[in-house]
Amino acid sequence: MKNRPLQRLFSASIALFLGVALASAVQAANTAGTNDEGLGRLHATRGVQCAGCHGNVKKPQAVPMEQCLTCHGDTKALAAKTASVKPTNPHESRHYGTEADCNLCHHQHRKSENFCLDCHPRFDFKVK
């Protein structure tokens, strides 16, 4: 009988822990695909719905580069827009020309990355 307050405290602590864990899981499920770091959120704030890129499918797949180009212009136009970037144009490389897949650097649902940086440390471009 002496441990009853301790048992109540322990039970309340377990209930609180489980409640917080459940709330965290629900929050994660509700915000899936709205990563603050990815371009998906930027597209959404500009009125682009998921189906605009992924199509009306039950299980969305990766978006092919051709889909990106329907809104963002052809690869030569993109290279022309970034021609003055130093030390080199990120949209026209000696490896890929102007045909590097957009998804190498630009990500929708996670932070974008500089694909060139792994081999070329001086190509420290800011990638959106």
Pick the residue with more confidence: 100 or 8? 100
CA–CA separation, 88 and 32 (whole Å): 36
Does pTM surpass 0.75? no
Give the pLDDT confidence score for residue 21 in this predicted structure: 58
Q: State pLDDT tens for residues 55-86.
A: 888 888 889 999 999 999 999 999 999 999 99
Alpha helices (H) in the chain, listed in sequence order? 4-30, 39-45, 50-54, 65-72, 75-81
Q: Please list the residues that pair with 93 across neighbouring strands.
A: 97
End-to-end CA distance of the chain: 63
Q: State pLDDT tens for residues 6-63.
A: 777 777 677 666 666 555 554 444 444 444 567 888 898 999 999 999 988 888 888 9
